[in-house]
Amino acid sequence: MQDADRWLKRFTPATGRIPGKASHAPATRYRSRVVCLPHAGGAAPAYQPWARHLPADTELLAVQYPGRQERLGEPCPDTLGELADAIAAALAALPALPTVVFGHSMGSLVAYETVLRLARHAPQALPVRLFVSGTPAPVRDRTNLPAPDDASLLTYVRNQGAAQPEVYDVPELRELLMPSLRGDFGLLARYRPARPLARVPVPVTALGGDTDAGCPPESLATWADATTADFTSRVFPGGHFYLQGREDTLAGLVTTALRAAAR
């Protein structure tokens, strides 16, 4: 279970304050699970506020990518596929529970590739629904990515409206944060999804903001071609980070999906 502990950070429902090791959760405590994957440059605690809005019997796990926080000394993977391989292995090692997977921006692409790997190698760990947020379905050439130099990356991040962009203005923090930001955007630049697009065998819900220039509302429909099951979408007011401040609404959506699957 050590891989699960490295890759997955557990936040306690009702408080959201106590991070724990995924494999150390009491076996009888949880009846369902939500797994969340962060955006490029993001870290697991981005989803910590969700815990306060989930039922007490729903386990919240957030993926912690290498190269940040307690994994600061670990190199970023070379490819998005390598990242998805490791996350799929960590999820497959957990006790089986009805699960929803939620990814935002880069996290959506990693979540999609992770679910493809679960379908091939660990079908018992497949989620009941995949939520993808803030990005169109995978394409071969991502023309909306910034240039790889630091100035372009920082301008892009600030324009996206991420929380606390001012941390990059502090030289000491910028030195710590830039390697993971460069690494994540490098993954996106090198990512080449299968053609024709592989389809996940689970329902997909695509979410986005109505003023997100990088993911216009009409582009969410491209995810319909990425699933063999049903597809739905929903648009919220806001830009790329429309989800900030909507933790209660989004937690409600994933909870509803889990309850629907249980019926």
Question: Cα separation of 196 and 242, whole Å?
Answer: 30
Give residue 61's Cα distance to chain centre. Answer: 11
Sign of the dihedral through C-alpha 180, 222, 204, 202 = negative
Which amino acid belongs to residue 160? Q
Which residue among 32, 105, 133, 180 is the active-site one?
105
Asked about 23 being catalytic, the answer comes back as no
Reduced to 3 states (helix: H, G, I; strand: E, B; else coil), residue 139 is coil
Strand duo 58-63 + 8-11: pairing: antiparallel
CB 30 within 8 A of CB 73: no
In sequence order, which ranges of the chain are alpha helices (DSSP H)?
A: 2-7, 80-92, 106-121, 150-160, 171-190, 247-262
Question: Cα separation of 4 and 218, whole Å?
Answer: 36
Active site residues: 105
